Amino acid sequence: MDRIRIVGGNPLHGTIPISGAKNAALPLMIAGLLTPETLILDNVPRLADVAQLQRILGNHGVDIMSVGKRPGDGQYQGQTLQISAADIIDTTAPYELVSRMRASFWVIAPLLARMHEARVSLPGGCAIGTRPVDLLIMALEKLGASIDIDAGYVVAKAPGGLRGGTIDFPKVTVGGTHVAVMAAALAKGTTVITNAACEPEISDLADCLNKMGARISGAGTPRIEIEGVASLHGARHTVLPDRIEAGTYAIATAMTGGDVRLAGARPELLQSALDVLTEAGAEISSDAEGIRVVRNGHGIRPVQVTTAPFPGFPTDLQAQLMALMVRAQGASAITETIFENRFMHVQELARFGARISLDGETARIEGTSNLRGAPVMATDLRASVSLVIAGLAAEGETMINRVYHLDRGFERLEDKLKACGATIERIRE
């Protein structure tokens, strides 16, 4: 199992190219099930989750061709996927595939919309009420689907096709909004989604579907209206840049000091995080080429942050910000409101010498200037990269185990950091 070795203490200087967004690429790939024609996606990141979803879609009979690098392509330029679901041969998504990635559950929407039936395993063997799969099911029922739970599978049927309806989410759900938008695109009549998620990845999906012939308005706002169409056609779409990757490298730059340009990053996708970094003492500027982050000689100031749905501070940057606050000059507090059990990185950060106490949903961090490298264990995707950030600033050597979590969401992380002066290497075993 691969490990990553870091020797801390080097400020970051240089340019880091930002890859396409994982959280946009996955629903866009799933949307390829909605049409028998070819959907071409550019700027798709090379990640373990993308490869896993390719296997899942292949199980349904989807042909996916990855176009290799062409003359003039940059070193980190994303891949182009040609997705063709001309013949869907299986409407079952089995447990052994869905259990490895939650987002794969979303195939239920296009399968049901186009084939009028789907049998999809509950993701990860979770209970219905955990991380609201129940809201996704509710959305499909509002569009006329009949839903049964049978031996850990969600069995959905709509013999005459889905019908437009009103979906009022009781709480904001990104997955629920993705599912509702995809299902409603082929439903008969008009669908109105209220309390919809406003994340940029929702807008990216809607933009792509509109290129395919859908009629969607209001994406990116709490009210989305979809006029169903009889069929969708092929299209070409470029995946938007990854705001979480950009925020992660911005935080790493603030942690180590230095001066880094995040090439291709778009500030409007992560403005709340950039505002917090400015409050913490980093200098942020942006232009048409990307975002520049500078922290030269200034101390890190403590902040008080609560995670919230977009445009608030993203839960997917909470662990990274906590690593930064470990070196702040004073006491910080971070409150997590989106997911339970998302403080699993606290115990590992403590191994560096971090002083963090938990009080319900709030972590209180007492800053320290004395971080020491340590052997640590990655527990999930975002927690694992917080350990990288801590290791970059810690004195001595850090060894991060179970880094396959990193490969799910960060494309060539060690290469990008090494190019900016970090002492970091992957040890393959």
Q: Is 243 labelled as part of a ligand binding site?
A: no
- The two tokens of residue 239 are 């995946």
How would DSSP label each residue in 61-119?
T-EEEEE---TT--TTPPEEEEEE-S-----EE-HHHHTT-GGGGGGHHHHHHHHSEEE
Q: Is 22 labelled as part of a ligand binding site?
A: yes
Q: What amino acid occupies position 194? A: T
Specify whether the CB–CB gap between 219 and 205 falls below 8 A: yes
Q: Which of 126, 198, 208, 420 is catalytic?
A: 126
To which residue do tokens 């989410």 refer? 169
Phi-psi region of 124 (alpha: psi -120 to 50; beta: other; left: phi over 0): left
Q: Is 232 labelled as part of a ligand binding site?
A: no
Q: Is residue 126 among the annotated active site residues?
A: yes
Q: Is 114 labelled as part of a ligand binding site?
A: no
Q: Is 301 labelled as part of a ligand binding site?
A: no
Q: Is 284 labelled as part of a ligand binding site?
A: no
Q: Using alpha carbons, select from 399, 277, 258 the residue that is nearest to residue 328.
A: 277
Q: Using alpha carbons, select from 303, 310, 378 the residue that is nearest to residue 333.
A: 303
Q: Is 388 labelled as part of a ligand binding site?
A: no
Q: Is 23 labelled as part of a ligand binding site?
A: yes
Q: Is 107 labelled as part of a ligand binding site?
A: no
CB half-sphere exposure, 225, CA atoms < 13 A? 4
Element (H, E) at 227: strand 223-227
Query: What is the Cα–Cα distance from 329 to 325, expressed in whole angstroms?
Result: 8
Q: Which residues are annotated as a binding site for UDP-N-acetyl-alpha-D-glucosamine?
A: 102, 131-135, 316, 338
List, as residue ranges, the binding site for phosphoenolpyruvate: 22-23
Annotated binding site: 22-23, 102, 131-135, 316, 338
Active site members: 126
